[in-house]
Amino acid sequence: MNALAEEIHVNVFDRIDCLECANCCTSIPPMVNETDVRRISKYLGLKTSKFKEQYLRIDEDQDMVMNQSPCHFLGDGNMCDIYDVRPKACRQYPHTDNYEFTKHLKLHLTNTRYCPAVFHILEEMNDALSRG
């Protein structure tokens, strides 16, 4: 089933342009790890402490996340102003090309609220599995 998910992921993202939506960037503050902090801070020319103070907060799960939605770095045309150094969570979103797709079904279901691509991937998975 994971191979099927990967195939469907590729097909759906061939049809969907994330720049037309950017709902993830306007709705979901991404988790940011220490490696992300160092990389983005360096790119912005900020000390890591200043970057954390200006752009991050600790959420209810005690995760470090961006402190506002839409994201500070969402620019014109829904382009990411720090795309080359964006957080790992942003690079991996919506996690539908993960080789362990089936282990994250609850996450995928949640992400259908934010990402049309995830909705289409799950719909196409359902259709393919229903056909046998």
Convert the pLDDT of each residue in 33-44 to its tens digit: 999 999 999 999
pLDDT mean over 13-19 = 96
* Arithmetic mean of pLDDT, 9-22: 96
Percentage of residues of the chain with pLDDT beyond 90: 90
The CB-based long-range contact list for 24-28 (8 Å cut-off, 24+ gap) reads 24/90, 24/93, 24/94, 24/114, 24/115, 25/69, 25/70, 25/71, 25/74, 25/78, 25/80, 25/90, 26/69, 26/70, 26/71, 26/74, 27/69, 27/70, 27/114, 28/69, 28/93, 28/114
Q: Domain span at residue 71?
A: 29-92
pTM of the model: 0.89
> Do 66 and 118 sit in the same domain of this protein?
no
The 10s digit of each residue's pLDDT in 66-112 is: 999 999 999 999 999 999 999 999 999 999 987 788 888 999 999 99
53/72 same-domain check: yes
Provide the domain count of the chain. Answer: 2
